[in-house]
Amino acid sequence: MELTSYIAEDLRARIAAGGELPCKVTLPALAKHYGVSLTPVRSAIARLVAGACLERLPGGRVSVIPVKRRAPRRAIRIAPPPTAPDWDRLLIQEVMLASLRREPVPLREEALARKHGVGRSVIRQSLGRLAGAGLIEHLPRRGWRVRSIREDDLTAYLEVREVLELKALGLARPHIRTADLLPMLAGNPAVAHGRPAHLDNRLHDYLIEKSGNRYIQIFFRQHIAAYFTAAFDHAAPEAHVVAEMAAQHRAILEALIARQWARARETLVEHIRAQKPVLLRILRASRPTGATSSMPVTRREDKEGGLP
């Protein structure tokens, strides 16, 4: 849903419910409330005037047309349209799926816009951000193409991730609270063989946040981190892999709760390095026979936040 439609439908639902509007019915007040420029607000008001929900008064003012006396309708919550980060996450998934094919795959703005029911400008802006992060390439007058990731790129990323997460753990030590860790431990329960496993990934984001180092935080908020997270999620849906990762999380959490810092570092390193063979498996499986180590990969946001 575009911004104009969202604003118009939200106001229409509030008016029909007979409730109070969120602010004065003026361009500046509505723009501030919805966090947008005046343009979509002006267009939304025009729609509501045409739909007999609002009326224009002398002096350019706008007023709500009173609802006829009747039992007010139940308020309907209108979902806001996706934000720029939402579109980035969605298109990262598109890039990942395209990149796992055997040959380079072009990304067509028109096809993506039609698939997701949005204007091409939204898709173009998001693809531009992904290109700026180095995940895809922009070919002048030809569109966009998935950027290939080699095995040594994967190795290099995991090495950087290991260094930064260990640094985050060291910086976070004075700020780690057992009360924060216990729910995460409960979220990674041990399960019997063959039973569905559950993985709670909040630990990584917790350590990064508690480190207080904004440069570490910025690194893990970048598209490249989400890219590899998406690749791992796609590569490791099997229950036994999820169970293994949950067990590794439990080991890290138990060491942190016991204040066994050296053990926590060791188990964190083991956990990060254990992801390499899982990711390499999907890279090699998606590579044609006889190909070199250059092969597309990608990423996604985790189910419960953060890195696997």
| Burial class for 277, CB neighbours closer than 10 Å (0-12, 13-18, 19+) | exposed
Tell me the β-bridge partners of 64: 54
Give the CA count within 13 Å in the CB-facing half-sphere of 25.
23
Kindly list the structural domains of the chain, giving each domain's residue range(s) and its CATH number in brackets, ordered by start. 3-64 (1.10.10.10), 84-146 (1.10.10.10), 150-296 (1.20.120.530)
Task: Give pLDDT tens digits for 279-306.
Answer: 888 777 766 554 444 433 333 334 444 6
Please report which helix (H) or strand (E) contains residue 295, including its range. strand 294-296
Residue 130 has pLDDT above 60, yes or no: yes
Helix (H, G, I), strand (E, B) or coil at 294: strand
Task: Give pLDDT tens digits for 76-93.
Answer: 566 777 777 888 988 998
Residue 70 has pLDDT above 50, yes or no: no
Task: Give pLDDT tens digits for 232-261.
Answer: 888 777 777 888 999 999 999 999 999 999
Q: Is this prediction's pTM over 0.75?
A: no
Q: pLDDT band at 127, cuts 50/70/90?
A: very high
